[in-house]
Structure 1
Amino acid sequence: MILAAVSGGSDSKGLLLALHEAITLGGFSAFSLSACTIDHALRPESTEEARAVAAFCAEKGIPHTIRQWLGDKAATGLQAAARAARYGLLADAAQDIGALCIVTAHSADDQIETIAMRQSRSEPDAPGLAGMAAGVLVDRRAWVWRPFLHLRRADIRAFLAARGEGWFDDPSNSNRRFERVRMRQALNEDGSSSVDIFVAARARFGSSARVALLISRHAHGFDGLVARIDPALSTRMADLDCTRAVLSIAAVVGGRHHLAGRETAARLAAFLRDAEGGRMTAGRVVFDRRKSGLYLYREARGLPQVELQPGERFLWDDRFLVSNTGPDRIAVRAGGETAELRARLIAAGLPEPVAKRAVKAAITFSAVTEGSYRHDAANSLPPRLCVQTSIGPYDTFLPCFDLMMANSIATLFGRDNYLSPPVHDVLTEKSG
């Protein structure tokens, strides 16, 4: 089963028709097709447009569902919030029907605009200049594929016109409030890009593979709380792959969704070049440099305290995803009774001063009983409580470029590998 995301615009409608024809007429009958329209509820016309897509799918015999983005909408960062909501709802729909993957109709025009926007704010050799990946894992549970990235929008519209089909034009596509619209209007008529997409994509794959190897060889994790980086890696910050490796680990330790920017990277490189040891803090992370290596741990301030109700999930400090499947309310906070955890970290090879500082930001739990706290050991979990380290840069959106790198980080922090792409599974089955 393939789930196609269809808005009613030219690109997504062209993708739906192309897939439908391939399955019904092109000899791909082993596949089945379903469609989903996300109604963002941002325009009065959106509900009627979603219904029109449903009617079109009914005519073609394609199963279709509508998912609506409910709740208050963000006053700022609306497009980013809508994107996150859209993909989350698509992943829900895919899970509900057991779809192998989701497909979206991003075109070569979208790719050129994306690269142009990233060029305007990135270094010439930044990984983001590879553009949108052909595949991306959403929420660790659904792969999204973009089979039209090599096609121009004009060609897709010609395909629709040849079949007598029309489409909807979203007025937000001409609203200069959004960066993408401004960039689209600023690009040359031929839509040319100064970046060779295929070369940049190969470079991104290569960099991620090298970073994965560096992390597996030179980084060591301790209870999802501390990472030690060998001098062979931490002293080579002039190398872009080494910088990516260190900053990626730091993002997880600090509970960040993005790698640190240029200024922080430059400050860290200068700190590591200094012959003296010592500590510096950036992005909520303490970089503790010693002869045995560079130790990274969360600084002990700004740490939240929350109460988790039965059945609730919560991303604590943006570092740990906590799920309470038991009948009791659970208090989640930092610190607490940490002597046992500290002793275990020291026994595992952490310098005692590092262990003492690091445990101050360790996640701890207490069952709430009649308004008071019943304290549990810092390193033990109450019954039916699940805790996983969050890998902020990749848990929501993981481009296929970075799968090897993301898996090496997951291993470092005691997590299972990410879901393999469905193409990998099919190839494995055939080779077996």
Structure 2
Amino acid sequence: MSQTADHWTRAVQARLSARLLRDDPRPIAVALSGGGDSIALLRLAADWAGEAGRPLLALTVDHGLNPDSPRWTAFAREQAEAIGADWRGLDWTGDKPTTGLPAAARRARHRLIADAARQAGARVILFGHTADDLTEASVMRAGGSTVGDPREWSPSPAWPEGRGLMLLRPMLSTRRADIRDWLEGQGASWLDDPANTDPRFARARARTTLQGSASVSSSPTARPTAPLSVRDGGVIVLSRDTPRSALAAGLVCAGGGDRLPRGDRLGALAGRLTSGADFTAVLAGARLDANADLVLLMREPGELARSGAAPVALQPGVETVWDGRFALTVTEPGWSVAHASGRLSALSDADRASLQPLPPAARAAMPVLIRDGSGDTRLAGEGTEIAGLVEQRLALALDTTPHEGALDLSTHGAQPCNDLFSGAELTGSDERSEGSRRE
């Protein structure tokens, strides 16, 4: 092994050791496309997992976008099984969009991988992004793309499939060329996706622009921390000088969605905050109320009402994520969950009193249970488990859980609710039970 290869492979192993638990029965998941970067990551992760006493699970997504994709999937399976990892193939089925295909494929890939990882009991998924990916993302943004920088340690962008899951990218400081040299020295083979050189796609154009460049970014931009806190009902408290990245995370978490706000709208909102003005604004499904004393983020009930969403039926013993903000499980059939807007008057005096401390908008956006056919409307009660997802999701987004072991300090993807739901079985939820490019 050359000195260069010895340096970066040791660095990758060190990052795995710093972020992951040893001697834990839960698997470490690896996103395996069959491209060079993912093959290198698979091999390095297998070495680390074997020494650390951890099982390894490789997950491969067939996007169905190329006639050769079944062959690529079979190759990925062979590579995973050859180093002793478990393997699972995942298919992106259904209609494909005619525009925005790379972004849609990327979202589908994250959803499928997150869902499979959670089902297997994993809490960390390894991705093979490199220093070149950081530089390509910068070039893409200069050309008008909204793609962000991949971070070494970040929550899964899939929601709610990725709740409680972290992504680890241990090769972000490594050049792709160095990885290929190492693979060749190992006698390893990999796949090259033709989409990587297709000028129809922004990443391929960025790669062409950078071809032959000797300089790449070695690390993503640091994310500033912010003193955000979560109150009852998923209401977030923040300061007027909250950094934009933290403000964006707060908006998405409070709104329960999975799409970050557009940069221009986020910038305008941040500017209004720093101006000191009192105002109310709605962005990314969240409502921001700012006055001289306090700035609060919460779900915007008007958007819930305007969506016309029907009550969601709850199946006994099956956890249902509602509005991206709460996870509910009932023990009896015949219940549905809906938003409280327009239904508050149907609640008991005791239920309304328990909601009274919340801001009016937050009250209207809370979940209520409806007994099918009877009109019985109530907050979660006996025989119901309800967990709030906002607090844990925000904590992961703001880098307050720096390694896998820190995830043990809270429930897996959810926080137990408090006395808002009087009489409820307030337990947490324990889940232990760019497209198709190949690097």
For normalisation by structure 2, the TM-score amounts to 0.68
- Structure 1: gaps spanning 5 or more residues: 420-432
Q: Name 2:192's counterpart in structure 1.
A: 169
- Once the two structures are superposed, residues 5-30 of structure 1 have per-residue CA deviations (whole angstroms, 9 ceiling, x without a partner) of 33222222233344556778xxx374
Give me the whole-angstrom Cα distance separating, in 2, the residues matched to 1:3 and 1:254. Answer: 29
- Taking only aligned residues, the RMSD between alpha carbons, in angstroms, comes to 4.3
The one-letter code matched in structure 2 to 1:330 is: S
Opposite residue 90 of structure 2, the aligned amino acid is Q
- Choose from 139, 153, 163 the match for 1:135: 153
**Could you tell me how far 1:269 is from its partner in structure 2?**
3.5
In structure 2, runs of 5+ residues without a counterpart are: 1-26, 157-161, 419-425, 431-439
Deviation of 1:260 (Å): 5.8
Question: Structure 1 residues 359 and 149 mapped into 2: Cα distance closer, same or farther (>3 Å)?
Answer: closer
Q: State the partner residue of 2:263.
A: 261
Residue number among 72, 85, 100 corresponding to 2:94 in the alignment: 72
1:23-73 deviations in Å (ceiling 9; x for gaps): 78xxx3745555343323322221122223333445x35244232224314
Q: Which amino acid aligns with 2:313?
A: L
Alignment of 1:16-415 (within 5 A): 16-20=42-46, 28=51, 30=53, 33-58=56-81, 60=82, 62-75=84-97, 76-94=99-117, 101-120=124-143, 131-138=149-156, 139-190=162-213, 192-193=215-216, 197-198=218-219, 201=221, 203-204=222-223, 207-208=224-225, 211=226, 214-216=227-229, 221-224=231-234, 226-229=235-238, 233-234=239-240, 237=241, 241=243, 243-257=244-258, 258-259=260-261, 261-267=263-269, 269-270=271-272, 273=275, 277=278, 279-302=280-303, 303=305, 304-310=309-315, 314-324=320-330, 326-335=332-341, 336-338=343-345, 340=350, 343-346=353-356, 348=357, 354-355=359-360, 357-369=361-373, 373-377=374-378, 379-381=379-381, 383-384=383-384, 386-390=386-390, 401=399, 403=401
- Percent identity at matched positions? 26
Equivalent-residue separation in structure 1 for 2:185 and 2:388 (angstroms): 51
- Cα distance change, pair 383–292 in 1 and its aligned pair in 2 (3 A): same
Confirm or deny: 8 A CA contact 2:344 2:352 kept in the other structure.
no
**Gap change, CA 1:46 and 1:222, over 3 Å in 2:** same
Local SS of the residue matching 1:301: helix
Q: Is the 8 A contact 1:305 1:334 kept in 2?
A: no
Change (3 A) 1:73 1:155: farther
Cα 1:162/1:268, change in 2 over 3 Å: closer
* Number of equivalent positions: 374
Return the index of the structure with the highest Cα Rg.
1
Distance in 2 between residues matched to 1:289 and 1:160, nearest whole Å: 54
Residues 193-213 of structure 1: CA deviation (Å, up to 9, x unaligned): 4x5x44x54x32xx12xx0xx
Q: Which has the higher contact order (CA 8 A, sep 6+)?
A: 2
Three-state SS of the structure 1 residue aligned to 2:375 is strand
Residues 1:12 and 2:38 are matched in the alignment: yes
Give the distance between the partners of 2:366 and 2:48, measured in 1 at CA: 53
Q: Distance in 2 between matches of 1:2 and 1:267?
A: 39
